[in-house]
Amino acid sequence: MAYQVAVFMENKPGRLEKMTEVLEDASISIRAITLTTTAQGWGILNLLVDQPERAVELLRQSNHSAALRRIVVVEVEDRPGGLRKVLSLLAAGGLNVENAYGSVLDKGRRAVLVIDVEKVEQAATLLARAGVKLVEEREIYAL
């Protein structure tokens, strides 16, 4: 299983830049990023990085509220309905997607979806049994 770094943060000018500075100084590469902010100015930053455990440690040392979250990363066909196929399997299994983000790697052929669900092991097993390709941890951090 792979991990993403989740950071609870006040979304103010310079906060995101300071976090990325911590990672840059440690030569940690960001592979994917999402930021969601509430109307009250607080947000959740999700990072897919090549060294998640180290990233969390360094962010915490620099007074950022960071945690590791287990994730499932799958290949999705880059075609209409490719994403729905994966989501339908999860829904049929009673699994709620709490957070997700993706990217096309090879247009018309291959995309990846990062999925944050409460029951990660169950989701991975369900998807693998249905023939969905799980992306291996070493591949994820090298995206």
Q: Which two tokens stand for residue 43?
A: 């947000």
Per DSSP, which regions of 1-121 are E strands?
Answer: 2-10, 30-37, 42-49, 65-77, 97-106, 110-117
| pLDDT tens-digit readout, 26-80 | 999 999 999 988 878 888 999 999 999 999 999 999 999 999 999 999 999 888 8
Domains of the chain (ranges, CATH numbers): 2-69 (3.30.2130.10), 71-141 (3.30.70.260)
Cα–Cα distance measured from residue 119 to residue 105, given in angstroms and rounded to the nearest whole number = 26
| pLDDT tens-digit readout, 102-143 | 888 777 677 899 999 989 999 999 999 999 999 988 888 877
Number of residues that make up the chain: 143
Per DSSP, which regions of 78-139 are E strands?
Answer: 97-106, 110-117
Q: Residue 124 in 3-state DSSP?
A: helix
